Amino acid sequence: MAILPIQLMNGLFAASVLLLVSIGMVVIFGNMNVVNLAHGEFIMAGAYTAWGLCELGLPFSLSVIGAFALTAILGALCERLVIKRFYARLEETLLATYAISVIMTQIARLLFSSMKKLVPLPVSGGLSIGSLVFPAYNFVVIAVAVFVVLFVCVLFYKTGLGKKIRAIRQNRQMAQCLGINTAVTDTISFGLGCGLAGLAGAIIAPLKIVYPAMGSAYLMDSFSTVVVGGVDSFVGTAMASGLISESTSVLGGFMSEIYAQIIVLIGIILVLRFRPNGLFSKEKR
Amino acid sequence: MATVMKNADGAAVGTAVSKTGRPVLVATDVSSGYGSGRVLQGVSFHVSAGEIVALIGRNGVGKTTLLRTVMALNRLDDGEISLFGLPLPKATHAVSEAGIAYVPQGRDIFSEFTVRENLLMGAHASKKKEIPAILERILTYFPALRSHLNRCGGVLSGGQQQQLAIGRALMTTPRLLLLDEPTEGIQPNIVSQIAEILDRIRAEMKLPIIIVEQNLKFAMRHADRFLCMQKGRIVVQGKIDELTDAIIGKYLKV
């Protein structure tokens, strides 16, 4: 059973990555009911921004902030120019966000070619827990994931802006009738969701290879995590990230990773069959 | 005497401004609808300072559409609406900022928010230091809400939700209040409470109110004037004591 602590720790790390790449989708899908098919491309844009800023000599921490800011602005622009025309029209938003994803991938190809970029690990070495040693950067990723969840929870549940976003989610027209400028709030929400995707891209950049199509790998993972957790629940998404990643990791210690993933995916399908609103969504009256 | 206004084609239209006071809201030849269909057809009316105007008529004649058009929730196809002499903005949030509060049919409270959060959402544009005083004043009108401040709005009874919806609207410190069927689906003792609250609001705040109401007894008790609608037009209007059985029989009885 010596393998179990390692698998649990690896699962926690994988859960943190999954949570980071999913949290922006909760903001956009959960609050605006827009399935952003360009979510992965904002992760890619964040990774490229981090790479670019690191190349310019900026410290990694500033590169992450830069990636958040740039992708947030990019997302806000996309919302203003494209998305806002298609709210409450599922097919159109799917098509529009797919178009944005293709355009962003092609622009990345034009700007950076298909050459793969590497972002150096900002923290090297390892940290030991008992007799086990884990890469130090894994702990940075876990800490950032915890910070991001706390940040969005505070933002959405304790600030005026967050309450306005939640009010709009519950009843857009009534929010307008109370004087809330929903157009501005929508732009901020979409920008925030994209910014969080960009931040995730920057954080995972040192762990992966940065290339134009890297984002597509995260789209389905984040979508399934958000749906399992409950589309409007940050805590639910955190729990779902943990559940999915720990299950995959622990099962992967005892069998082929492919079988582990198949079992977890079957579990996800069963969850959606019996809890279509997600495992952690509240019952509404 | 109640006035039936007709245009050159014999169709009824709105009347001129009454002499009860300075007009707060003036709507002139307002046409509006949904999609390509027109519901309101050349509606003109006004609301004066401090008065309660009952908007009455059978189902489907355009009463709710009229309130929604004032709030810019429905597009204004034709005509003008002004508040204190200034044209109303075209965006709903700006209409609210201009001073009109709306309590829709069905209340539309934020069911996931607590009662306190619902109320505070109404005051989101107010200065922070003023909010506690506004909240306290509103709670004096709705003491029943005070003990439920930390409960979710979604678990309140219909009557409590109605009080919450009116309270939330008042939190915006409006200059005109629009109430759409405030007694619908509410048990009689709560209707009496809402009636008392309206009396207090009227006496203390001097707030002009447009109230859409199927409950004629309620409307006749509270309103100063009535506007009777039929097929998207105002066909009769007058002081509330001029609302005769003949008018009721002709325009309101199904």
Boundaries of every domain in chain A: 16-124+132-215
Q: Is residue B26 within 8 Å of residue B197, measured between CB atoms?
A: no
Q: Which stretch, A95-99, A257-261, B198-202, has highest mean pLDDT?
A: A95-99
Residue A133, pLDDT above cutoff 50: yes
Residue A206, pLDDT above cutoff 70: yes
- CA dist A186 and A78 (Å) reads 11
- CA dist A101 and A63 (Å) reads 23
Q: Is A158 on the interface with B (CB under 8 A)?
A: no
The residue among A6 and B168 whose pLDDT is bigger is B168
Please judge whether A285 and B101 are an interchain contact, meaning their C-beta atoms are less than 8 angstroms apart. Answer: no
Residue B10, pLDDT above cutoff 50: no
B163 pLDDT tier (thresholds 50, 70, 90)? very high
What ranges make up the beta strands (E) of A136-251?
A: none
- Among A172, A174, A285, which would you mutate to test the B interface (most chain B Cβ atoms within 10 Å of its Cβ)? A174
What confidence score (pLDDT) does residue A1 get?
Answer: 54
Kindly write down the DSSP assignment for every residue of A8-38, as one continuous string.
Answer: HHHHHHHHHHHHHHHHHHIIIIIHH----TT
Q: Tens of pLDDT along A139-193?
A: 999 999 999 999 999 999 999 999 999 999 999 999 999 999 999 999 999 999 9
A90 pLDDT tier (thresholds 50, 70, 90)? confident
Q: Is B131 on the interface with A (CB under 8 A)?
A: no
Please judge whether B110 and A181 are an interchain contact, meaning their C-beta atoms are less than 8 angstroms apart. Answer: no
Instruction: Measure in Å the smallest separation between the Cα of B198 and chain A Cα atoms.
Output: 20
Q: Tens of pLDDT along B209-244?
A: 999 988 888 888 889 999 999 999 999 999 998 888
Nearest alpha-carbon partner for B46 in B5, B14, B71: B14
Q: Is A173 on the interface with B (CB under 8 A)?
A: yes
Q: Tens of pLDDT along B42-63?
A: 999 999 998 999 999 998 899 9
The number of beta carbons lying within 10 Å of the beta carbon of residue B3 is: 14
* B100 → chain A, closest CA residue: A177
The residue among B114 and A256 whose pLDDT is bigger is B114
What confidence score (pLDDT) does residue A247 get?
Answer: 86
Q: Is B108 on the interface with A (CB under 8 A)?
A: yes
Nearest alpha-carbon partner for B48 in B67, B20, B29: B20
What average pLDDT is seen over chain B?
87
Please judge whether B122 and A176 are an interchain contact, meaning their C-beta atoms are less than 8 angstroms apart. Answer: no
What is the mean pLDDT of the segment spanning B14-33? Answer: 73
Please judge whether A176 and B104 are an interchain contact, meaning their C-beta atoms are less than 8 angstroms apart. Answer: no
Q: Is B174 on the interface with A (CB under 8 A)?
A: no
Residue B99, pLDDT above cutoff 70: yes
Residue B15, pLDDT above cutoff 50: no
B254 pLDDT tier (thresholds 50, 70, 90)? low
Residue A285, pLDDT above cutoff 50: no
The number of beta carbons lying within 10 Å of the beta carbon of residue A209 is: 11
Please judge whether A167 and B102 are an interchain contact, meaning their C-beta atoms are less than 8 angstroms apart. Answer: no
What confidence score (pLDDT) does residue A182 get?
Answer: 95
What is the mean pLDDT of the segment spanning A255-276? Answer: 87
What confidence score (pLDDT) does residue A8 get?
Answer: 86
Please judge whether A171 and B108 are an interchain contact, meaning their C-beta atoms are less than 8 angstroms apart. Answer: yes
Closest Cβ–Cβ partner in A175, A177, A182 for B71: A177
Cβ-based contacts of B117 with chain A (< 8 Å): 163
Residue B98, pLDDT above cutoff 90: yes
Residue B11, pLDDT above cutoff 50: no
Please judge whether B92 and A164 are an interchain contact, meaning their C-beta atoms are less than 8 angstroms apart. Answer: no
- Report the range of poorest mean pLDDT among A251-255, A259-263, B112-116, B152-156: A251-255
The number of residues in chain B equals 254
What is the mean pLDDT of the segment spanning A22-28? Answer: 94
Instruction: Measure in Å the smallest separation between the Cα of A28 and chain B Cα atoms.
Output: 18
B9 pLDDT tier (thresholds 50, 70, 90)? very low
Q: Tens of pLDDT along B108-145?
A: 999 999 999 999 999 988 888 999 999 999 999 999 89
* Alpha-carbon dihedral sign for residues B181, B182, B184, B189: negative
What is the mean pLDDT of the segment spanning A215-222? Answer: 88
What is the mean pLDDT of the segment spanning A67-96? Answer: 94
* B156 → chain A, closest CA residue: A285
B12 pLDDT tier (thresholds 50, 70, 90)? very low
Please judge whether A171 and B112 are an interchain contact, meaning their C-beta atoms are less than 8 angstroms apart. Answer: no
Instruction: Measure in Å the smallest separation between the Cα of B250 and chain A Cα atoms.
Output: 34
Q: Is B111 on the interface with A (CB under 8 A)?
A: yes
What confidence score (pLDDT) does residue B21 get?
Answer: 61
What confidence score (pLDDT) does residue B3 get?
Answer: 53
Closest Cβ–Cβ partner in A164, A178, A285 for B122: A178
Residue A196, pLDDT above cutoff 80: yes
What confidence score (pLDDT) does residue A92 get?
Answer: 92
Percent of chain A with pLDDT over 90: 61
How much is the ipTM here? Answer: 0.88
Please judge whether A163 and B117 are an interchain contact, meaning their C-beta atoms are less than 8 angstroms apart. Answer: yes
What confidence score (pLDDT) does residue B5 get?
Answer: 45
What confidence score (pLDDT) does residue B203 get?
Answer: 85
Q: Which residues 180-199 on chain A approach chain B with CB closer than 8 angstroms?
A: 180-182
